[in-house]
Amino acid sequence: MLAGLCQSLAATWAGSSVLASRWRRGFGMGVVGTIVLGMVLLSSAAARAGVSPVVSEGPSGNQSAAAGRPLSAAALFREGVEAYRGGDCAGAGRAFRESAARQPASGTLQNLGNAEWLRGQSGLAILAWEQALWLDPLNGSARNNLRFARKNVQLEAPELAWYEVISTWLPMNYWPWITGASLWFAVGIGLLPGIFRLRRATWHQALAAVGLMVFLLSVPAHLGVLSRTRLGFVLQKDTLLRLTPTQQGQVITRLAAGDPARIERFRAGFVLVRTSRSLGWIEADRFALICPR
């Protein structure tokens, strides 16, 4: 239908064969320009997310801190490694946390979890390892650490819907690229042969169908990423789950450090969370999201 409309417009405007040729060439360049613009916008969105799809052990770079200037993420990472090797887990945890705040990296968060675990802070360790997997689902060390920690302290893993499971197959920033590239690929393969008056081949339709299929499969992954931003973990042991958002509220149950929950809303220093067993309010400083807002 779109190809027919384009041809109709071309026939109307083409007072001569030269004008028709120019129109087709200009329209084709416009489609190509739109594809390039879409990819640039996707790249900008990924950059604003503040995470890198490249797997690394920690922030890269050879920056050094000048006098009176804050340390770079790479310098803080090195400081954390030295403190960790020296047995100063508290100092290592502080350095890794500051490094991750400046430049989030899966390796930095994995090391932060290791330091917190050795300090006996299981809630903070599980949160850090989950955040490491949020950035890089292919980080096998963080996944093994989570499996060991939950088995050791008898904690349950978060319950994920099917579309959330799909979103964990690849790093978060990969999905916008896959969605944008597959959509524009399918559109380009479907339109460009007609625009340039090329003979349509069977492989054109096959490639367009593949691109459309990849696009449709990536949409649930986007929904899964969005849904998992509400997932968080209890940071301290014996956290009271209350019926109302007050210090005098009736206690429903006690939550262990590292218990998963989904946030519903905030109110006056409390957050309403839903666990696998109940719904209630806990103090905001005893809970952290996997993807901080």
| One domain for residues 151 and 92 | yes
> Would you say residue 118 lies in a domain?
yes
Q: What value does the mean pLDDT take over residues 150-173? A: 93
Tokens at 166, concatenated: 């799909």
> Would you say residue 60 lies in a domain?
no
Alpha-carbon torsion (167, 38, 185, 50), positive or negative: negative
Domain that holds residue 146: 73-155
> Would you say residue 239 lies in a domain?
yes
> Would you say residue 91 lies in a domain?
yes
Instruction: Give the residue among 178, 183, 242 at the shortest CA–CA distance from 208.
Output: 183
| One domain for residues 116 and 146 | yes
Counted domains in the chain? 3
Measured in residues, the chain has a length of: 293
Domain boundary residue, one of 102, 124, 155: 155
- pLDDT over 90 (residue 3): no
| One domain for residues 148 and 84 | yes
Between these two residues, 23 and 80, which has the higher pLDDT value?
80
Q: What is the DSSP letter of 72?
A: P
Domain boundary residue, one of 227, 251, 273: 227
> Would you say residue 59 lies in a domain?
no
| One domain for residues 40 and 175 | yes
Mean pLDDT of the residues in the chain: 81
Domain boundary residue, one of 227, 251, 269: 227
CATH code for position 264: 2.30.30.40
C-alpha span between 80 and 283 (Å, rounded): 30
- pLDDT over 70 (residue 167): yes
Question: What b/e string do you get for 221-238 counting C-beta neighbours within 10 Å, with b at 16 or more?
Answer: bbebbeebbbbbbbbbbe
- pLDDT over 50 (residue 64): no
Q: What value does the mean pLDDT take over residues 158-174? A: 93
Q: Tens digits of per-residue pLDDT, 81-93?
A: 999 999 999 999 9
Q: Work out the number of other CB atoms within 10 angstroms of the CB of residue 208.
A: 18
Q: Tens digits of per-residue pLDDT, 224-283?
A: 999 999 999 999 999 999 999 999 999 999 999 999 999 999 998 999 999 988 999 999
Taking the model in full, what pTM does it have?
A: 0.74
| One domain for residues 101 and 236 | no
- pLDDT over 90 (residue 123): yes
- pLDDT over 50 (residue 39): no
Instruction: Give the residue among 139, 79, 82, 87 at the shortest CA–CA distance from 109.
Output: 139
> Would you say residue 68 lies in a domain?
no
